[in-house]
Structure 1
Amino acid sequence: MRHRLRDPITGLLFVLPMLVLFVIFRFVPSLGAAGLSVTDYQLGGSWSFVGVTNYARLFDDPIFMGALRVTIVYVAIYVPLTLLVSLGTALLLNSVIFMKGIFRSALFLPYVTSFVFAGVIWRWMYEFDGFINGLLAKIDLGPVGFLDDTALVLPALATVSVWKGFGYSMLILLAGLKSIPSSYLEAARVDGANAWQRFRSIVLPLLRPALFFVIVIETIGAFQAFDVIYVMTGGGPSRASYNLIYALYDQGFGNFNVAYAATIGIVLFVLVFIVSMIQRRLLDRSNT
């Protein structure tokens, strides 16, 4: 028995520090947030149990419903765009013969930069006298108020987030492409399959586990977007970029209504969990 338990116990000892940190800084705060959501606690004040009152209040709150709509629209823009850019660059890198490391490093570089730094730079680029409008002016299309137009602000923010974060997903998909046996593609090429047929019938099915991981991770990240919004728009204009995380921040650190902020967090967690389960089912659980 001791011989059989030696390896599991050894493995547990190696992961124990991270497991302790996870319990202290992730699991316990999550339980605390769930407990706060059924109270009327405000920072520095007394509290009492109120049951599901906070949850009922959410769906009567036009600001929360607006933040929910903004979040869903942002996710719907960001995730497909990130997947398209990541997969496209991964396919290009997979076909590169010379200087692979240089190209990978250059494309991955934005991922390791500060989101605050990226937000400041892109805010300048989006300004009326910025770089992008300067280019548009040369073809008589500018200026465009990317961050001042309620219809353009979410696509503009999503573009910045894609530029900042696609490198990680690109590497995951590139690793998935490298794991596909070249003999499959060569056999299809011999049988007369063109590039699109090989991609659709061989690459995509074998890449499904990596795609599932990327879609889930990027979806969770899109639901939790905050840095780029805080730096570039502050939730504006007219709350057009005021998402759930910004509403949570506003309630918790602006109004000091901790219980209501915790309620928003729990609803966001449930929403992300449901979306992740739907994605898992759509991508075929048996193959992921």
Structure 2
Amino acid sequence: MRHRLRDPVTGLLFVLPVLVLFLIFRIFPSLGAAGMSLTNWNIGGEWEFIGADNYARLLDDVNFWLSLRVTIVYVVIYVPLTLLVALGTALLLNQVVFLRGLFRGMLFLPYVTSFVLAGIIWRWIYEFDGLINGLLAKADLGPVAFLEQSSVVLPALAVVSVWKGFGYSMLILLAGLKSIPSSYLEAARVDGASAWQRFRRITLPLLKPTIFFVVVIETISAFQTFDTVYVMTGGGPARATYTLIYGIYDHGFRSFDFGYAATWGMVLFAIVLIVSLVQRRFLDRGNT
């Protein structure tokens, strides 16, 4: 018995530091937020147990349903766009032989750039006298108020987030492409398959587990978007970018209604969990 337990105990000792950090900074705060959502908790640390009153209040909160709609629209725009850009750049990098590391580093650079700095740069790009409107003026097209017009502000923010974050998914997809045996593609090429046929019949099916992973992490990231909204729009115009995370920040750190903010957080957790399970059902199909 002691001999059989030696290896599991040894492995547990190696992962114990990370496990302790995970419990301290992930599990315990999540449990604390769940408990806080059942209370009326103020900035002074005083609290009163009110049960499910915060959840009943949330169901009647117009701002919550507005923020949920805004977040879903943002996710629908951001996730497919990120996947397309990341997959396209990964396919290109997979074909590059000369200076591959340089191109990979250049494309990954925005990911490690500060979101505040990226937001400031893109605010200038989107301004009336900025880069994009300058190009539109040369094409005899009127200026567009990207950050002041409710109909275009979410796509504009999604473009910024895609530019900032596609590099991580690109590297994951590139690793998935590298894991595909070259003999499969070579055999298809010998049999006369075109580049599109090789991609559709060989590359895409074998890349499906990696794509599933990228879709899940990018969906979770989209539901948690905050930096871009905070830096560039502040939830405006007319709450057109008032996402769920920004609502949590608004109630928690502006109104100091921590119990109600925790309620928003728990609902967001449930939404992300359900969406992830649905994605696993329809995208994964048990292959991952």
Fold match, TM over 0.5? yes
| SS class of match (1:286) | coil
* Separation (CA, whole Å) in 1 of partners of 2:260 and 2:116: 27
Secondary structure, in 3 states, of the residue corresponding to 2:19?
helix
- TM-score of the two chains, using structure 1 as the length reference: 0.97
When normalised by structure 2's length, the TM-score is: 0.97
1:21-64 alpha-carbon deviations (Å, 9 max, x no partner): 11111111100110111122222264322222211211211111
Instruction: Give the 5 Å matches for 1:240-251.
Output: 240-251=240-251
| Paired position in structure 1 for 2:189 | 189
- Other-structure match for 1:261: 261
Counterpart CA distance in 1 for 2:203 and 2:277 is 24
Identify the residue that residue 42 of structure 2 maps to in structure 1.
Answer: 42
- Residue deviations 1:90-118, cap 9 Å, x none? 00001112111011001001001111110
Assess if the C-alpha contact under 8 Å between 2:229 and 2:235 holds in 1. yes
Q: Does 2:56 match 1:83?
A: no
Partners of 1:34 and 1:236 in 2: how far apart? 29
Unaligned runs of 5+ in 1: none
Residue of structure 2 equivalent to 1:154:
154
Distance 1:6 1:130 in 2: 64
User: Equivalences for 1:162-181 in 2 at 5 Å?
Assistant: 162-181=162-181
Give the Cα separation in 2 of the matches to 1:14 and 1:167.
31
2:238 maps to what in 1?
Answer: 238
Aligned to 2:276: 276
In structure 2, runs of 5+ residues without a counterpart are none
Separation (CA, whole Å) in 2 of partners of 1:128 and 1:122: 12
Map residues 65-144 of structure 1 onto 2, 5 A cutoff: 65-144=65-144
The answer on whether the counterparts of 2:209 and 2:284 sit within 8 Å (CA) in structure 1 is no
Identity across matched positions, percent: 74
| Counterpart Cα distance in 2 of 1:31 and 1:270 | 13
The count of aligned residue pairs is 288
Match of 2:51 in 1: 51
1:13 matched residue in structure 2 = 13
Amino acid aligned to 1:61: D
3-state SS of 1:183 partner: helix
Residues 61-110 of structure 1: per-residue CA shift (max 9 Å, x gap)? 11111000000000000000000000000000011121110110010010
Deviation string, structure 1 residues 188-241 (Cα, Å, up to 9, x no partner):
122222111111111111001111110000000000000111000000000000
For residue 196 of structure 1, what is the amino acid of its counterpart? W
Q: Secondary structure in 2 aligned to 1:48? A: strand
Give me the whole-angstrom Cα distance separating, in 2, the residues matched to 1:56 and 1:193.
59
State how far apart, in whole Å, the 1-side matches of 2:194 and 2:88 are.
18
